[in-house]
Structures are given as structure tokens and as C-alpha cells.
Amino acid sequence: MSETGKYNVLFICLGNICRSPAAQAVMQAMVDERGLTDRFYIDSAGIGGWHIGDLPDKRMRVHARPRGYELTHRARKVRSADFEDFDLIVGMDASNVDDLCNLAMTLEQQDKVVMMGDYIRRYPNYDHVPDPYYEGSEGFELVLDLLEDACDNLLDRIIEQNNIVK
């Protein structure tokens, strides 16, 4: 828990323009719905820096909007301070988790890294959130389905393990 008394969660994907900004918006909406807005800080970043400063991919924004998510995040690259500033760092797939573990400077920092796939419950055929960048519409809808499922379970776990109350 940070000095501000908030629990800080950072979502990570490769480019920070599809999966992780969507995860950020889904989690923020769930935190808000549960009346826990003041108890959390949610952000996202990318392993790569190709899209720094960009809004999320138009396709991701178009698919997220009817579900009530406005994606306004500006892409940024993960930085070493993130391992200090955040309580939990959530990679979308095994490659993200490998990269994050390599960037971590200490075992304590490595312990902050988890994989989103471990919180998927309703879609047993998926153990990660697949990159939709080269996919069609179904790929983007699938990302949102998986994120809504996984964020709900992840939030339950965070609240339970950290005794977070309104």
C-alpha cells in the first residue's frame, strides 16, 4: 500500500494501446462501481515504446465504448520507478511477465508481477489475454470478455488480501 493509502495497480501489455489501457478502464469502472475510487490508483504501460503519447488503438476504443468504457489513456513505456510505485504489476501474457521479471531489480519487485490469465475463470480455454493487434473484431471483443472476467476476480483477490474497505 502506498503512502497515499491507495493500492496501486499497473496493467502491462506490449504496446500499451490495446489490452492494458482496456484493462485499466475495466478495472477503474469496477473499482468505481464498488465505491472504492479513493482506495485505488490504476494505470497502464507498455513493454515497448513504439506508441508513446498515443491514445489507445481506434478499434479498441470502438469496441470498448458500447460496454461503457471510454479509453483516454496515453501510451507510455514501463519504467524502473514503476516497480517501486505500484503494489501489483499485471502482465497480459507470459511474454509480458518474462519481460517484467527481467526488468525487476530485486526479488521483492519480481514478486509484484502477476499474469492476468491466472484470474480468468469463465473462459477455461484461455490462460492469457491474447494480443488483438493483428486480429479482427472478434479479437477485440474477446479481449474485453477476458478482461471483464479477470478484473472482477483480481479485484476480489486484492480486496481480500489487503483488507480494503470503503
Q: How far is the CB of 14 from ligand 4NP (least distance, A)?
A: 3
Determine phi and psi for 42, rounding to 5 degrees: -120, 135
Nearer to ligand 4NP, 36 or 129 (CB): 129
Nearer to ligand 4NP, 7 or 82 (CB): 82
Which of 79, 114, 76 lies closest to 94 in space, CA to CA? 114
For residue 162, CA distances in Å to 87, 88, 149, 150 come to: 11, 12, 21, 18
The cell for 83 is: 516497480
Instruction: State the binding string over 5-34 for ligand 4NP (x if CB under 6 A, else -).
Output: --------xxxxxxx---------------
Question: Which strands, in side-by-side order, build the sheet including 7-13?
Answer: 40-46, 7-13, 88-91, 113-115
* Binding-site string for ligand 4NP from residue 96 to residue 115, where x marks contact by CB under 6 A and - marks none: --------------------
By CB under 6 A, the count of residues binding ligand 4NP is 10
The closest of 143, 150, 162, 126 to 1, measured between CA atoms, is 162
The reply to whether 19 belongs to the active site is yes
User: Which of these is catalytic: 13, 57, 99, 149?
Assistant: 13
Active site residue 131: yes
Q: Which residues of the chain form contacts with ligand 4NP (CB under 6 A)?
A: 13-19, 50, 131, 133
Q: Catalytic residue positions?
A: 13, 19, 131
